Amino acid sequence: MAALWPFPLLISESLWACLALTLPDGYPEPHNGPPTAGFNYSHVDPSVDQPSALRVFSLDYHHVQAPFEIVLWIMLASLAKLGFHWSGRVPAIVPESCVLIMVGLLVGGVIYGVRHSAPPTLSADAFFLFLLPPIVLDAGYFLPGRLFFENLGTILWYAVLGTLWNVLGIGLSLYGVCLLAPSSLGDISLLHCLLFGSLIAAVDPVAVLSVFQEMHVNEQLHILVFGESLLNDAVTVVLYKLFESFLRLPSVTGLDVLVGGCRVVVVGLGGLFVGLFFGLVAALTSRFTFRAQVIAPLFVFLYSYLSYLTSEMLHFSGIVAIVTCAVTMKQYVEANVSERSNTSIQYFLKMWSSVSETLIFIFLGVSTIQDIHMWSWPFVCSTLLLCLVWRATGVLLLTAVVNKLRRNAVTFRDQFIIAYGGLRGAICFSLVFLIDDFPKKRLFITTTIVVILFTVFVQGMTIKPLVELLGVKRKKRALPTVSEEIHSRVLDHLLSGIEDVVGYWGQHYWKDRFEQFNKKYLRRFLIGEHHQTHSSILRVYQEVERREQQGVEETPPAVDAHSSSRPLLPEEMDSIRRILSRNLQNFNNKQMPAYSRHTLHQDLTTDEMRKPLHRHQSLTERCTYHTITYCPQRVDGEFSKSCRGRARLSRSHTVCSASPRWSERPDSLVPAALNHTQPSDPGPAEEEQDSPQRRTQIERATKKQLSFILENEKPL
């Protein structure tokens, strides 16, 4: 498989050679002018002599050059990824990103040997406009929302203050190195060092995802590293553009610095509001797609990409915009579209992001084979060392502060993995080519390539053994069940109520307020009426079922050869789901109406609230005073037989009911039940308790009892 990887490039080069050899003299050159709008016809120049005879075979590579080469590159990326997963034990030792970069180095060497010129490089526009958005969209759409928002403060702490710490630290330190070596580095200014520090401090989410997804670290560590790398890129791109603007000014004043700081805030908030707007519009559009489910997944991609392009057009943060758009529309789109459409969205996003990620790493390797390199040992080695030192010190200092505010402290092992997992990738590689030409630009390009290769190969290949050596907590493979989800929500409501009582507006308080606003306004407006789920238990069940289906589709289950039971048919599975959903809905409707601290019942009087609560009788008391279960649909004999069978070992669960039909029971059935369930020789105390007072209490009780028998307590 490895031998097939360079073939698409060799085919392209052969076509170029054939084109140069087979074109006859006087053959008209392809028209390179702008295409004419409207009809598609060939441009014919009457001054050029046309061939006098028809040809059986001809070649016009220029006509299909652009799409043909794009398809060849995508084919190369797909074959490289396929070969990686069929390469035996290599995936367990070497990360996928390292193998793809090595494939790119091989392809770049082949191209350089055939053409004797530099291979094509990945332009910044192609990266930021076509390859980066699918990866960020996939990461934002499948972002674990609960973990992300619970750790949002820590993520912003690392992404904003940590990035500023790294940029200023690396830039000022490199400027000091340049001052110590004036002969070779004296023409590098402070602003150039800060500009280079802003791009070299960008932690690449593509490289981080490709490495950390293979290690299966715990959820908290994964969301801290991934969230920090995702928002770190937005901050570094903004700082890069800010320092680039400073370089173009004749002089920088204090007012320019103040305006630049305000610009950073505006860029971030602008991307947030643009993504929020397009996310809500996408959710509203998906509400009306139930009659055309085929095009429902298309709106997810179009609105997300449109939010990214709009933010870039307005000079806002496109990364923040597309992540916000994906997080906003996800829950409403999943509720509006069908299960097949959800599956289509999932697979298309995974495929799109995987191809983009593979192309990025291959082009990183291809672009390394260049003639523009400039080497300086002090600058390159100092940059490598400073990137490691400033990131490690920043993580330690920032974590020491944030641990005082967190309930679950970030351990020292997790801090080491966060500091060591700062992998660089295509973002800093694309930004370094955007620098305006100056004498040391080639040195910046060489240093950036060295840092990328060092972090991806050395840190990427050694981080997995370090995780195993340090004993970092791994992720739990089993998905949460419905019971765990319900208990988690109960704890959220409990903590929210405690915060409300003590007057502390914490994360649970604001989360509960948003859930109320979402349930009262957003879900009613953005989700169709035929998709509205009134039962919260049923909604949790559907959410867990969808999550389990995604997990089963990603990892096929192992089949037990010793199992004698046959697999269920799709029709049987659908029938089970319908029955379970209907039973959950019916069970929820039979109980008392659910209430929260926002919708308490107002019809309770003070006297009713002061009534003492009746405790459940113990097993010994039930043996003496038997529990009476009223069954109005049975005759006396059946009632007495059922009660006599359950008298000794039954356990009852009493639920208050406001229905009047239980209080108006026939008097004839109660004595019969009492006569059948009383012992044959009652004592005086029992006769006194079974007096008319006891019967009156039973008749006045407005309670219904749900009796059930445990398997180990069945009567003989």
pLDDT per residue as tens digits for the range 227-270? 898 888 889 988 999 999 999 888 888 898 999 889 989 999 99
Q: Are residues 484 and 450 in the same domain?
A: no
Stretch 485-492: mean pLDDT, rounded?
Answer: 78
Which of 93-102, 224-233, 563-572 has the least mean pLDDT? 563-572
**pLDDT value at position 156?**
93
**pLDDT value at position 50?**
56
Asked whether residue 673 carries a pLDDT value surpassing 70, the answer given is no
pTM score: 0.68
Asked whether residue 552 carries a pLDDT value surpassing 90, the answer given is no
What's the rounded Cα separation, in Å, for the pair 276 and 253? 35
What's the rounded Cα separation, in Å, for the pair 240 and 194? 9
What's the rounded Cα separation, in Å, for the pair 283 and 523? 10
Token code pair at residue 436: 């305006």
**Which range of residues forms the domain containing residue 647?**
619-713
Say how far residue 581 (Cα) sits from the centre of its chain: 27
Runs of H (alpha helix) within 46-189: 65-85, 90-93, 96-115, 124-126, 132-141, 145-150, 152-156, 162-180, 182-185
At 692, the pLDDT band (50, 70, 90 cuts) reads low
Query: What distances in angstroms separate CA 157 from CA 163, 233, 235, 692, one per listed residue?
Result: 9, 14, 12, 72
Higher-scoring residue by pLDDT: 384, 46: 384
Higher-scoring residue by pLDDT: 585, 431: 431
**pLDDT value at position 208?**
82
Residue 190 located in a structural domain? yes
Asked whether residue 35 carries a pLDDT value surpassing 70, the answer given is no
**pLDDT value at position 554?**
46
Residue 579 located in a structural domain? no
Q: Are residues 250 and 233 in the same domain?
A: yes
Residue 318 located in a structural domain? yes
- Residue pair 420/460 in contact (Cβ under 8 Å)? The answer is no
Residue 346 located in a structural domain? yes
Asked whether residue 274 carries a pLDDT value surpassing 90, the answer given is yes
Asked whether residue 285 carries a pLDDT value surpassing 70, the answer given is yes
Residue 80 located in a structural domain? no
CATH code of the domain covering residue 270: 1.20.1530.20
Stretch 162-183: mean pLDDT, rounded?
Answer: 93
Residue 96 located in a structural domain? no
Higher-scoring residue by pLDDT: 106, 120: 106
Q: Are residues 369 and 425 in the same domain?
A: yes
Q: Using the 3D structure, point to which of 505, 526, 552 is the last residue of a domain.
A: 552
**pLDDT value at position 293?**
86
- Residue pair 402/410 in contact (Cβ under 8 Å)? The answer is yes
Asked whether residue 166 carries a pLDDT value surpassing 90, the answer given is yes
**pLDDT value at position 503?**
78
Q: Which of 293, 14, 325, 391 is nearest to 141 (CA)?
A: 325
- Residue pair 311/321 in contact (Cβ under 8 Å)? The answer is yes
At 568, the pLDDT band (50, 70, 90 cuts) reads low
Higher-scoring residue by pLDDT: 369, 306: 306
Asked whether residue 31 carries a pLDDT value surpassing 70, the answer given is no
What's the rounded Cα separation, in Å, for the pair 320 and 267? 9
501-543 pLDDT, tens digit per residue, is 887 777 778 888 888 898 889 988 988 876 665 555 666 666 6
Mean pLDDT of the chain: 75
**pLDDT value at position 660?**
43
Query: What distances in angstroms separate CA 19 from CA 11, 27, 116, 130, one per listed residue?
Result: 12, 12, 18, 30
Asked whether residue 96 carries a pLDDT value surpassing 70, the answer given is yes
At 93, the pLDDT band (50, 70, 90 cuts) reads confident
Q: Using the 3D structure, point to which of 552, 569, 584 is the last residue of a domain.
A: 552
Stretch 382-386: mean pLDDT, rounded?
Answer: 95
Asked whether residue 172 carries a pLDDT value surpassing 70, the answer given is yes
Q: Which of 309, 330, 329, 327 is nearest to 318 (CA)?
A: 309
What's the rounded Cα separation, in Å, for the pair 415 and 186? 37
Q: Are residues 496 and 641 in the same domain?
A: no
Residue 292 located in a structural domain? yes
Asked whether residue 349 carries a pLDDT value surpassing 70, the answer given is yes
Stretch 55-67: mean pLDDT, rounded?
Answer: 87
Higher-scoring residue by pLDDT: 657, 549: 549
Asked whether residue 377 carries a pLDDT value surpassing 50, the answer given is yes
**pLDDT value at position 324?**
95
Stretch 207-235: mean pLDDT, rounded?
Answer: 83
Q: Are residues 397 and 511 in the same domain?
A: no
**pLDDT value at position 539?**
62
Q: Are residues 517 and 465 in the same domain?
A: no
**pLDDT value at position 120?**
79
Q: Are residues 629 and 538 in the same domain?
A: no
At 694, the pLDDT band (50, 70, 90 cuts) reads low
Q: Are residues 190 and 270 in the same domain?
A: yes
What's the rounded Cα separation, in Å, for the pair 582 and 585? 5
Q: Are strands 703-708 and 651-656 parallel, antiparallel or unpaired?
A: antiparallel
Q: Are residues 361 and 427 in the same domain?
A: yes
**pLDDT value at position 548?**
62
Asked whether residue 408 carries a pLDDT value surpassing 80, the answer given is yes
Asked whether residue 448 carries a pLDDT value surpassing 90, the answer given is yes
Asked whether residue 369 carries a pLDDT value surpassing 90, the answer given is no
Q: Using the 3D structure, point to which of 533, 552, 571 is the last residue of a domain.
A: 552
**pLDDT value at position 700?**
52
Stretch 571-577: mean pLDDT, rounded?
Answer: 74
Q: Are residues 545 and 675 in the same domain?
A: no
426-445 pLDDT, tens digit per residue, is 889 889 988 988 888 899 99
Residue 531 located in a structural domain? yes
Q: Are residues 493 and 519 in the same domain?
A: yes
**pLDDT value at position 705?**
44
User: Tokens 């758009």 identify what position?
Assistant: 325
Q: Are residues 245 and 383 in the same domain?
A: yes
**pLDDT value at position 716?**
44
At 87, the pLDDT band (50, 70, 90 cuts) reads confident
Total number of domains in the chain: 3
What's the rounded Cα separation, in Å, for the pair 322 and 139? 10
Q: Quote the percentage of the chain above a pLDDT of 90.
A: 27
601-652 pLDDT, tens digit per residue, is 444 444 444 444 444 444 444 444 444 444 444 444 444 444 444 444 434 3
**pLDDT value at position 698?**
54
